[in-house]
Each structure stands twice: as structure tokens, then as C-alpha cells.
Amino acid sequence: MSAPELILTNGKVYSVALDGKVTHAEAVAVKDGRIFKVGAASEIEALADKTTEFIDCKGNTILPGLCDVHCHPSMATASMSAADLFGVYRQEGQSADEVIDILMGKLKEYVDANPDKEVIRGTGWVIANFNPAERMPTRHDIDKICADKPVILESFCQHNVWVNTKAIELAGVDENTPDTKIGCIHREENGYPQGVFTDPEAMEYIKMGVPGYDLSVDEYKDAILGYQHDFANKYGVTMIQDCMHSDNAREAYRQLAEEGRLTVYARAVYHLKPECYQEQMPEFIARNGSDNVGNDFRIDTVKMFAEGEFSLIGGYLPEYCDSVGVPRGSNGPLYWSDDVFVDYAAKAMEAGFQVHVHAMGDLSVKQTVDCLAEAQHRAGKENPRSVVAHLMLVPDETAVKMGQENIIANCQPRWMVYDGDIYAMTPMMGKEKAETAYPYKKLLDAGVRVAFGTDFPVTPPPDTMHEIQCAMTRRVFPDAPDYEKYKVNALGTEPPATLNETIRSLSVNGAYQIFAEEFTGSIEEGKSAELVILDRDIETTPAEEIYSIKIAKTFFKGKVVYDSSLES
């Protein structure tokens, strides 16, 4: 029998299997791109011959390849070559005009530095800085900076675009354009668009209407390759699910998989839209499997939105309704009626698709879980691995139902902290409800399988060590932009998670979510060799310092795809 080509030795293997069994060992042997043997250093080293490469892990942790199974890499391409509008938050006593002045200053710097750009992109602004009853961003603000080229600025949450007049004209939108069923075209008194388009259907007027806004397939290929190295593999990620993308981006993933250039197992989605679901579902069913390239790239999932950018938090507080000029007791709209939700989720399941739903507020989370459970029963599917993503507010009985119905929770640990976002939302939902935001232990205790995603680029960077620390402490960490202001605050009274729980959610549970647990997600003999070497021992690192751990090396199919020692 031939010897392994690679041995990682003098390390501390830490892997959690799907059943919760923890593997601790000193060394891993890799042969033909797969995990050949796991065990004591002396045992594994004895398998070597003169051709075997050794890597001394110096007593540091060896993890399985990690996951980011709710992210938006292709959408993040805008932030890789765009005006950086992140980090601008309205301070006490600051006016909306002052915030806009700061943002427009950043935009001007970008425009001046990029005179050859035909379309000006930007990303990162925060719509919560603005009260609709006072002052919203407008096209005129951007026109003062750039009027002769289309300017499209995406909000940090990817649920709003703020554009100039040129972009509106090129998209063919005016006062006669009908309002959308889903989303909002903010308008001036005469009906002409004011400059902000909110949520999917309204945003598509701009994104699909402005020539050159979407990248070409080749541009997406370059951007995805950059994302793999600069973000995914750098943070130990070898499994992703891109949960919103264009047709060009989908084709870029497919081509990269065929060319053998992906260094992550990539999954994508078909987006079922409330405005055209009847036409879309037959198309998805007919297309099922045609985009798949082995295990490297697959689309096994239909994505739905239960609600939009601002979560349905139950009845809004009267004071909040008064402040924004909406009737007391108002809520944002649910995107689906229960009957249609159940019917089309069941159709997707019957066709062999997983259903993955964006739901944040307690009303939408409850509706989503109830409808997914009913759809599973109607489709005769005991466990189609349905997913609910984000889960800002989860009623207790809904968490229990998720566990009973085998519905996966996809959570964003970077949001599980008391920070400026929670501070800003507290007046809207009340302190008691805000304290329950972004549960983790409650879901685990209810028997829910939880997988992690970052929703990148919403909260950059997509650092897996940040995720672990936030889940374990529920506090901001020193590298966070609002650390000094909120460092003494923990979010709610929920007990912190354990390292074991977070590693499981970041590895094998993510593999399970994307139907990949049979070949990746844990360090077990016979599985593909997705491995991560840290720069220290995570088990002896205090929870408050995990954020500072770096990835030393990342392996995909037994090959090094990230090596910190080679970075400048």
C-alpha cells in the first residue's frame, strides 16, 4: 500500500461528527485528497515514506473545513470595486443632512479616483440612519456629486439601493411606473422616484434596468476567485451557499467548477419571487440538476423571502408608529399568504428541492415554520432539510416546532451581540423583546440543528473566529467598530454557547445543510481532506480572545489553498 502524500502532525485535532461525537487526535494523514488516518502522532508518522510531506502544526488546533452557508459572495463583488460607505452611523445630535454629507464625501473621493468607471457603484450605507418622517436620501444628493453617469449605492443589508437621476432614467422608471407588490419605490410629490428603492421587486427595476450594472460572466469568475482567496479560504471556509445571485453569477460558478478552479464546495439557489412564482416554479423543476457540476457546484435549493428588509417584530410600539407616521399597530407586509406559501414550498419539496427562507421578525418566523412544517407533511417529506435563515426573533413555541419538524436554523453569530444595531432597534420593539434577539442556545435546547452563515457582505469581514467569539460571549469584540461604546453589554440573558456547539455549527452542521456531510464537514477517515490549521490552540484560548486567532493554512481536497506565511 502506498504511503500518504501529506501528514499534519504535532497538532490538536478538534472535530465534531454529525452525531456530536468529538474527535481529539495529534495527527492527520492525507492520501489522494482524502483523510486516510487520524490518530496519535507516532501512529500516523509511521505510515510515511520518503515521498511524504510533513507539516508541523506546532501544537496548534486542526479543524475541519468550515462553512458559510448563508452568504452573498457574488453580490459582494460590488463592495470589492465600489465606494466604501460602511461604518457611517448617525450619532446623537447629528442631523440626517450631516450623515448624507459624510456619505457624499466618501462617494466624491471614489468618483474622483475612478474617472473611467461607466457605472459608479457603492455599498454599505445604513437606511436606519434616516427617519422617513424627517428626511430620506434622494437622487438629488447624488446628482450634486455625479450627474452624468449612473450611480447605484447598495445599503449594507442589500435590501435598498439609493440612486441618482441618471440611473433612474436609464432604468426607464418614472412617475408612471407602477408600484411593486414587494418593496417600495420612494416617490416625490409628483410621483417621480425620489431615489431609494427598497426590497427585491423594486430594486430589480434598477439592477436589471441599468445597462452594465450586472457583471459579465468573466467578471464574476474573477470576483469569485478573489473572494475564495481573500475571504473564504483566508478564514478557513471550504463550504458556502450563495443565497442570492444573478444568472451571470450562476454561470460563473458553473464554469469555475467545470474548470476545477473552485476551492470551496459552492451551492446556489433559485429565487422564488412572490410576483411571478407561478411561472418560475415550472422553470425551476425543468432546470433541476442542469446546473450541477458534481459536488463542487450544485443548486438543490429554492430560496424564498418571508419578509423584507425591516423585520416583522409583532405590533410596533405606538411611539415608533407615531414617529414615522404610520398607523399604530402597523407591520411590514408578509410576502406570502399561508396557502400559497405552503402550496409552492410543497411543490419545491416534491421536486426534490430544499426550501431556504429569509425570515427575521417573530411574525414572519412563525409563519415560515408553520408553513414549512405543513408543506413537509403535504409533500410526504419527513426531513427535506428546510432552512430558516436569520431568525432575529423566535417565539418559544416556534423554536420547539423547528426541533420537532427537523427544520434547520441558519444563524449569523456576528449579530448575536449587543451593538449599535440592537441599540437602534430597542425603541422600536421594546427592551424586553430586543433582549431576546438572535437566539442560539434556545434553538439548540429545542433540538434544532443550527448552521452558521455570515450574510457577507452585510457584516464584513466574514471571519469565522469572530463568529465563534460572538456566539460564545454575546458581546462585541475589540476589533468591532463600536467596541468602546458597547463592550460592557451582553445581548440578553441567554447563556453563552460552548466551543463544541460553535464548532459543530461552523462545520458538520453546515455540511449537513448543503447535503455534503457524507464527504466533508468533519475530520473522519475517508472524507475529503478539507482541513484548517489555526495559529494557536483554540481550546486553551479564552473566549474573549478567540477573535484574534488567525488561520495559518486551509486545505481543500488535500491541497493548500491558503497559507498565511505567503501573504504580504
419 has pLDDT over 80: yes
- Give the chain's largest Cα–Cα span: 80
Report pLDDT digits (tens) over 371-385: 999 999 999 998 999
Lowest mean pLDDT among 117-126, 197-206, 317-326, 328-337: 317-326
CA nearest to 414, candidates 358, 356, 475: 475
Residue 482's pLDDT is: 87
Mean pLDDT of the chain: 93
Segments making up each domain of the chain, as ranges: 6-59+527-566, 75-207, 306-497
Nearest by Cα to 198 from 387, 333, 341: 333
Mean pLDDT of 210-223: 91
Residue 9 clears pLDDT 90, i.e. is over it: yes
User: Which CATH code is given to the segment(s) 306-497?
Assistant: 3.20.20.140
Instruction: Report whether 428 contacts 316 (CB < 8 A).
Output: yes
The answer, yes or no, to whether residue 313 has pLDDT greater than 80, is: no
pLDDT value of position 456:
94
pLDDT tens digit string along 531-550?
Answer: 999 999 999 999 999 999 99
What mean pLDDT do residues 170-179 have?
94
SS3 185: strand
Q: For 128-166, write each residue's pLDDT tens digit.
A: 888 877 899 999 999 999 999 999 999 888 889 999 999
Under the banding of pLDDT at 50, 70 and 90, the label for residue 189 is: very high
Quick one: pLDDT band at residue 75, thresholds 50, 70, 90?
A: confident
CATH topology of domain 75-207: Diaminopimelate Epimerase; Chain A, domain 1 (3.10.310)
Determine the pLDDT at residue 366: 96
At 63 the pLDDT is 98
Q: Does the 6-59+527-566 domain belong in CATH 3.40.190.10?
A: no
Give how far Cα 528 sits from Cα of 12, 65, 173, Å.
19, 10, 50
Contacts of 267 (CB under 8 A, 6+ apart): 69, 239, 240, 241, 242, 297, 298, 299, 300, 301, 514
pLDDT at 79: 64
CB-CB contact of 195 with 201 (8 Å): no
Q: String of b and e for 254-290 (b: at least 16 CB within 10 Å)?
A: bbbbeeeebbbbbbbbbbbbbeebeebbeebbeebee
Residue 78 is predicted with a pLDDT of: 61
pLDDT over 70 (residue 312) = no
Give Cα 165 distance to the centre of its chain: 31
Q: Tell me the residue ranges of DSSP E strands in 34-159.
A: 34-39, 53-56, 61-64, 66-71, 83-84, 120-125, 151-155
- What does the pLDDT look like over 348-363, one tens digit per residue? 999 999 999 999 999 9
pLDDT for res 183: 80
Q: What's the pLDDT at 309? A: 63
Residue of higher predicted confidence among 506 and 123? 506
**Greater pLDDT, 421 or 107:** 107
Burial class (CB in 10 A: 0-12, 13-18, 19+), 363: buried
Return the closest-CA partner of residue 243 out of 453, 50, 39, 98.
453
68 contacts 466 by C-beta, under 8 angstroms: no
Averaged pLDDT, 504-513: 98
pTM of the model: 0.91
* Grid coordinates of 98: 450631516
Q: Which of 92, 94, 163 is nearest to 123 (CA)?
A: 163
| Cβ partners under 8 Å of residue 230, min gap 6 | none
Distance CA 146, CA 121 (A): 12
Whether 250 and 299 have beta carbons less than 8 Å apart is answered as yes
What's the half-sphere exposure (Cβ side, CA atoms, 13 Å) at 448? 30
